[in-house]
A = this chain, B = another copy of it.
């Protein structure tokens, strides 16, 4: 039986890991050890460790790995701290495989620790192109990983061009689409009622994270978005950003607008569980900001989306996404276009809902060769 150690660092990678966690637990030939680090443990980001536990997963260990400071130096030092902490925990668990998803700095720690300890590293969501330092992290992880689970055809191609052996690159789709499929639909009234929204009006969802390579601008950038929403008098929901260099500036901009009596029609949340978030997406008039969910889950759900700025640069996207710069007028126009258009048809760009089982099958059966890697060219 193989022991798979999964590391989750925040709500977004957790959303993508859930379908895989479930599929691993269903198999007799895989044992699961879950380690929870990063912003899952922080009250400012919803203490999502509690969500993980209430979802029924048993957590082997947690570790506080975030150094406070809202700037690149704190994020960098947190990477180092994560590597040190995970070394001790991987040593205690002794897994056959370490599984991670995505490209955030917490996850970079897990990749470095696993690969340097000669463990087999499996990586979901590699090969994508986007923006921010996340892109460098993502490809660096690819160069350390032994099993790759890209979500799209384009991502698969890029991983192979990066010199990985094709037989180790498995196109399974994105497990977040599995999750979307597994979540019971809810009608618009129920959703509006649950989140205290007026069912007679369209509502929007706003999520805007800082771009770490532009973190000094994060406050001004979100200001353009929120002023556009404010000027249009839209109601809806807003999620606070991930912990990243720049997130504190976004929070301060929000507070400042609130103190000026604005944003009263936007309900703010630190975290919404994915089971409630997907139904919200199904009925939202427009999904605004720079979250990858608008592109990923959005393509499958056909959600009209306005993607702002460079954070998702070059990420593969369906017809549902309009990209605009940080300019309140452009943002307003794009929102209007999407509200006029309404829902798009579903697009299987990011998978067909079978990714979780696909990943688990390969984790259980793939030959685990030597940990030593080399370029294919």
- Closest chain B residue, CB of each to CB of A252: B43
- Check if B81 sits within 8 Å of A81, measured CB to CB: yes
Give per-residue flags for A80-114: 1 if the beta carbon is below 8 A from chain B beta carbons, else 0: 11111101111110000000000001001100110
Q: Is A75 an interface residue (CB 8 A)?
A: yes
- Check if A66 sits within 8 Å of B63, measured CB to CB: no
List, in ascending order, chain B residues with CB within 8 A of A1's CB.
Answer: none
Interface size of A in residues (CB-CB distance below 8 Å): 73
- Check if A310 sits within 8 Å of B158, measured CB to CB: no
Q: Is A129 an interface residue (CB 8 A)?
A: yes
List, in ascending order, chain B residues with CB within 8 A of A90's CB.
Answer: 73
- Check if B112 sits within 8 Å of A116, measured CB to CB: no
Q: Is A140 an interface residue (CB 8 A)?
A: yes
Q: Footprint of B on A, CB under 8 Å?
A: 41-44, 61-70, 72-77, 79-85, 87-92, 105, 108-109, 112-113, 115-118, 129, 131-133, 135-136, 139-144, 158, 161-163, 212-213, 243, 248, 252, 310, 313-314, 370-375, 377
25 A-B contact pairs sorted by A residue (CB < 8 Å): A42-B70, A43-B248, A44-B68, A61-B92, A62-B91, A72-B116, A73-B88, A76-B83, A76-B117, A77-B83, A77-B84, A80-B82, A84-B85, A85-B88, A108-B112, A112-B112, A118-B133, A118-B213, A129-B374, A133-B371, A139-B143, A139-B375, A142-B143, A213-B370, A213-B371
